[in-house]
Amino acid sequence: MAEMMTLGKALNAGLRKALEDDPKVVIMGEDVGKLGGVFRITDGLQKDFGEDRVMDTPLAESGIVGTAVGLAIRGYRPVCEIQFDGFVFPAYNQIVTQVAKMHYRSLGRLRLPIVIRIPYGGGIGAVEHHSESPEAYFSHTPGLKVVTCSNPSDAYTMIQQAIRSDDPVVFFEPKRRYWEKGEVEFSDFPLHASRVVREGTDATVLAYGPMVKVATDAASAAAEDGRSLEVIDLRTLSPLDLGPVYASVRKTGRCVVVHEAPGNLGLGAEIAARVTEECFYSLEAPVLRVAGYDIPYPAARVEEEYLPDLDRVLDAVDRAFGW
Amino acid sequence: MTRTPTVAARTAGPGQRLTLLRRMLLIRRFEERCVELYSAARIRGFMHLYIGEEAVATGVMAALTPDDAVVSTYREHGHALARGVSADAVMAEMFGRVDGCSRGRGGSMHLFDAGARFYGGNAIVGGGLPIAVGLALADALTGRHAVTACFFGDGAVAEGEFHECLNLAALWRLPVLFCCENNQYAMGTALDRAQAVTDLAHRAGSYGMTARAVDGMDVEAVVQAARQAVRAVRGGHGPRFLELQTYRFRAHSMYDSDRYRDKAEIARWKLRDPIELLCARMRGDGQLEAADLAGLDAAVTADVDAAVAFAERSPAEPVTDLTRFVHSERRGTR
Ligand SMILES: Cc1ncc(C[n+]2csc(CCOP(=O)(O)OP(=O)(O)O)c2C)c(N)n1
Ligand SMILES: [Mg+2]
């Protein structure tokens, strides 16, 4: 029976399950133990699994992620928590120079089953460093896998799959959706696969993480105007799984990509290029992007202006039709 | 509380004591008002309060001149006010208004005032240290006899930047005054759960600079230690390090439920409230009547009222302006 829970609680349940299933799984991060994490995602885990499985670390992101490399080489499956998107950068060095390269450098002899969890995106009234969407930096780096969940059920499933993965996974959590509820059930849908979340015939809207809800809301609104939008949740940002996207765009002829991150060289740019290459003769309009602006994430007062919303998505769809 | 601070003193005359008291009271009342405004959703975003730590910023800033520079943290309302950034500009910033010291873009964690050589709050723990070292390097290269005071928490000591910067500053004998606000906790993590060596002054000393622990609840002790250190730094003797032992009376931020600290511990520290301490001392020396204190309190409360009114009058930056300052607006650079 599927249970109703928030996305945050679903992650907590998924982490708990992973700790139960495999004694090599360890969680480490700032205040993840006694306090249960700033967003309470690891709440209660240290109490139940002990301080050797759920480790409070000093305030040292580079140390946390770098230590995970050593642990992983020795057969552990570390799950590192970064408190907020903007705080991953002290660890960026380790992620890009070590985590991403070790498997390749060792000719496949060393496996790096590390998960780096990062709450990301805006919508909670914070500012720069606390609301950013840095997924493109990581997706750009060969050797890393990058995924993001958009709903509680995926959160529960994907975190377990990421931990079971033999490759390092940067796991982006849509922090503004932590408190949203949904039915939760483990599914065997693969980790690195995109998914059609709403079928439609007139245009394809691609989104991931926090923007999936915006896209489906836009689709509902468009339906009232007699326009049928197909919404795809990308789920995996590296590698991208665009097979279902190509199939969809060949059907609809129009494609809009939505993300919070700045548009310049964001995931949307790569996706637009690939869709254009694969679906050129099916396209009725260029692939359009709805993205954050190319500015540092703004103050709480104006984040509604910054974040793509239903209107901006519908606008883009209109533009695709007006081409 | 671990060990006895090595510097404790009574130094200031009555006039200066009054100034110090007024500064600390202003910070306290400002912060208290921020709590109310936050509850009323007039202030948004993350907010970290300085209540309990007022003596640190007040004491250190008293030892600086306007030519010196200050680099700060996200718990920086008190730093900004003590540095002389106007309460109006700070409050307008909290409100996200255009007359705020960061145009309303920064909010609580990113106060900034280049005019006051206040080079910013900083939401990245440890992020300010290299900036301070760079400012000091520039001063050293140009032969300016200025000091850069760099504030950071005990938590920052665990970050790599701390160690890189102490070494750089010591190696190049740069005019930095490192001010470690040791309030015993980094969010929910007590110092001894994060540091193998909890004597932070001792650790700083190992980088080759004079470092000392100071009672950060005693504003006069802070002033004296800071003056001494600033004199040495300005005199070209390289960086100095002050570990200012203090305590935040409230939770880490407005979101923090503060379940990790013992109530008795909080109560114990509150007995050493920096404002109460100074008041008691002044009373003992016959320098403070009840009426003086009431008058002072009324005056700073009026300053805070005025700051709120100023903030409320100030408009928001137009959304269309948000693309400004992403890049230089100097002609020829675009
Ligand atoms: C690089 C980085 N990592 C994590 C955080 C999240 N964070 C904000 S404040 C804080 C604790 C800092 O403690 P300390 O330096 O002692 O300063 P205090 O809050 O006690 O004044 C943490 C972990 C951050 N802001 N930056
Ligand atoms: Mg601290």
CB of B175 within 8 A of CB of B140? yes
- A189 found inside a domain: no
For residues A115-121, average pLDDT: 98
**Which pLDDT band holds residue B255 (cuts at 50, 70, 90)?**
confident
Domain residue limits at A262: 195-321
**Which pLDDT band holds residue B11 (cuts at 50, 70, 90)?**
low
pLDDT of residue B331: 74
Same domain, A158 and A36: yes
- Domain locations in chain B as residue ranges: 14-308
Residues from A contacting B (CB-CB < 8 Å) are 30-31, 34-35, 38, 56, 58-63, 86-87, 89-90, 125-130, 293-296, 298-302, 305-306
**Lowest model confidence (mean pLDDT) among A42-46, A124-128, B329-333:** B329-333
- A59 found inside a domain: yes
Same domain, A26 and A91: yes
Three state DSSP letters for chain B: CCCCCCECCCCCCHHHHHHHHHHHHHHHHHHHHHHHHHHCCCCCCCCCCCCCCHHHHHHHHHCCCCCCEEECCCCCHHHHHHHCCCHHHHHHHHCCCCCCCCCCCCHHHCCCEHHHCECCCCCCCCCHHHHHHHHHHHHHHHCCCCCEEEEEEHHHHHCHHHHHHHHHHHHCCCCEEEEEEECCEECCEEHHHHCCCCCHHHHHHCCCCEEEEEECCCHHHHHHHHHHHHHHHHCCCCCEEEEEECCCCCCCCCCCCCCCCCHHHHHHHHCCCHHHHHHHHHHHCCCCCHHHHHHHHHHHHHHHHHHHHHHHHCCCCCHHHHHCCCCCCCCCCC
Res. B323: pLDDT tops 60: yes
pLDDT of residue A102: 96
Same domain, A269 and A147: no
- Computed over every residue of chain B, the mean pLDDT equals 94
**Which pLDDT band holds residue B8 (cuts at 50, 70, 90)?**
very low
* Of A72 and A127, the one with more pLDDT: A72
Same domain, A94 and A240: no
Res. B1: pLDDT tops 80: no
pLDDT of residue B2: 42
Last residue of one domain, picked from the residues A184, A210, A230: A184
Same domain, A164 and A226: no
Ligand 1, atom 21: closest residue by C-alpha? B153
Same domain, A85 and A157: yes
Last residue of one domain, picked from the residues A184, A213, A229: A184
Q: What is the pLDDT of residues A150-168, one digit of tens each?
A: 999 999 999 999 999 999 9
Same domain, A127 and A38: yes
ipTM of the complex: 0.94
User: How buried is residue A48: exposed, middle or buried, by Cβ count under 10 Å (0-12/13-18/19+)?
Assistant: exposed
The CATH class of B14-308 is alpha beta
- A35 found inside a domain: yes
Same domain, A161 and A238: no
Phi-psi region for residue B120, left (φ > 0), alpha (ψ -120 to 50) or beta?
left
**Which pLDDT band holds residue B7 (cuts at 50, 70, 90)?**
very low
**Which pLDDT band holds residue B6 (cuts at 50, 70, 90)?**
very low
CB of A202 within 8 A of CB of A148? no
Atom of ligand 1 nearest to the CA of B123: 25
Same domain, A202 and A166: no
CATH code, domain with A96: 3.40.50.970
Q: Find, in chain A, the residue whose alpha carbon is nearest to that of B192.
A: A58
Last residue of one domain, picked from the residues A184, A217, A249: A184
- A190 found inside a domain: no
**Whole-model pTM over 0.90:** yes
Residues from B contacting A (CB-CB < 8 Å) are 44-46, 96, 104-107, 109-110, 123-126, 155-156, 158-161, 186-189, 193-195, 255, 259-260, 316, 319, 322-323, 326
pLDDT of residue B12: 62
* Of A323 and B310, the one with more pLDDT: B310
% chain B with pLDDT above 90: 93
Cα B93 to middle of ligand 2, angstroms: 24
Cα A74 to middle of ligand 2, angstroms: 34
Same domain, A56 and A125: yes
Same domain, A163 and A201: no
Res. A242: pLDDT tops 70: yes
Which strand (E) or helix (H) includes residue A173? Answer: strand A169-174
Same domain, A20 and A114: yes
pLDDT of residue B258: 92
- Provide the domain count of chain A: 2
**Lowest model confidence (mean pLDDT) among A91-100, B6-15, B40-49, B228-237:** B6-15
Res. A96: pLDDT tops 50: yes
Cα–Cα distance for residue pair B226/B59, rounded to 1 Å: 7
pLDDT of residue B14: 81
